[in-house]
């Protein structure tokens, strides 16, 4: 037998010995790679829903926090500067959470809910935060340095409304609970309208100072607009609850 034939036979024998002998160390990495690739495909088609609901819950929880700061500031106007700093900080955090939510949404093929619904809800939640922050800053610019019970009462209504919204977002996959929380939010908004009407009527009673009327009417309007924004979120949550449960 020639040297070439001998080398060929020896190589063939070594090859078959390698293939016939179980070699888990070589086979497992290939399996792991295939499994990892499969996981990526599954993750793309069927995303982890917890991230969406965590981001939404984070935004909603931020609203409850800044509403508390607003109520404290109007109840004790000397705390306005400190409250504004705290509100600005939480507003930035909610903006980051909303941005992360949108980024994750854009990277997914099949989101847990309609993209339009998720984006609109996120935008409207952040809108409430903007209204609350704007109200606190407006109180400073208007030099509303006195405690006025109607302003505090409206701020309390806002706090109640955002707590209902936070609870609704936390149960967004439970249609009945969401609808109940939304009804409560709308009732709070209606109660706030009554407070606003009485407050404005009181402003114009007798012979008031025009500057004082402008100052407090502007602030009351801002507070009432914030309650309207809460009602808008309740409407959107109702839409989501009906569509996805």
* 25-43 tens-digit pLDDT: 444 455 555 555 555 555 5
Q: Are 116 and 239 in contact (CB under 8 A)?
A: no
What's the burial of 139, exposed, middle or buried (CB within 10 Å: 0-12/13-18/19+)? buried
Residue 110 CB burial class (10 angstroms; 0-12, 13-18, ≥19): exposed
Query: What is the structure's pLDDT at 210?
Result: 94
Q: What is the CA radius of gyration of the chain?
A: 30
- Per-residue pLDDT at 19: 46
pTM over 0.95: no
Please work out, in degrees rounded to the nearest 5, the angle formed at the alpha carbon of residue 90 by the alpha carbons of 87 and 92: 110
Q: Which two tokens stand for residue 221?
A: 């309007």
User: Rounded to an integer, what distance in angstroms lies between the CA atom of residue 63 and that of residue 162?
Assistant: 6
What CATH number was assigned to the domain covering residues 50-244? 1.20.58.220
In contact, 153 and 224? CB cutoff 8 Å: no
Q: How far is CA 28 from CA 25, 36, 95, 168, 232, in A?
A: 6, 12, 44, 46, 54
Query: Six-digit token pair at 230?
Result: 């809460």
221: three-class secondary structure by DSSP: helix
| Listed residue (78, 220, 96, 86) closest to 158, CA to CA | 220
What averages of pLDDT result for each successive group of 10 residues across the chain (245 residues)? Answer: 50 47 50 57 56 84 96 95 95 90 72 79 93 95 94 98 95 86 97 97 92 96 97 94 78
Q: Measured between alpha carbons, how far is 188 from 167 in angstroms, rounded to an integer?
A: 15
| CA 182 to centroid of chain Cα atoms | 16
């Amino acid at each position: 037998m020639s040297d070439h034939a001998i080398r060929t036979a020896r190589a063939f024998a070594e090859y078959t010995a390698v293939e016939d002998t179980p070699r888990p160390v070589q086979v497992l990495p290939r399996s792991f790679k295939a499994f990892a690739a499969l996981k990526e495909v599954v993750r793309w088609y069927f995303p982890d829903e917890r991230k969406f609901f965590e981001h939404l819950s984070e935004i909603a929880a931020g609203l409850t926090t800044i509403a508390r700061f607003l109520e404290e500031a109007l109840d004790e106007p000397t705390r306005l500067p400190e409250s504004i700093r705290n509100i600005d900080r939480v507003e930035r955090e909610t903006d980051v959470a909303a941005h992360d939510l949108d980024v994750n949404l854009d990277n997914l093929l099949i989101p847990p809910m309609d993209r339009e619904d998720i984006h609109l809800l996120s935008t409207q939640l952040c809108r409430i935060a903007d209204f609350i922050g704007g109200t606190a800053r407006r109180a400073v610019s208007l030099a509303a340095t006195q405690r006025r019970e109607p302003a505090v009462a409206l701020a309390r209504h806002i706090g109640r409304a955002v707590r209902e919204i936070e609870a609704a977002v936390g149960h967004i996959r439970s249609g009945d609970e969401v609808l109940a929380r939304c009804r409560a939010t709308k009732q709070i908004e209606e109660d706030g309208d009554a407070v606003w009407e009485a407050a404005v009527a009181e402003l114009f009673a007798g012979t008031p100072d025009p500057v004082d009327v402008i100052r407090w009417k502007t602030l009351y309007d801002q507070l009432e607009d914030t309650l309207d924004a809460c009602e808008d979120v309740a409407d959107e949550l109702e839409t989501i609850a009906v569509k996805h449960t």
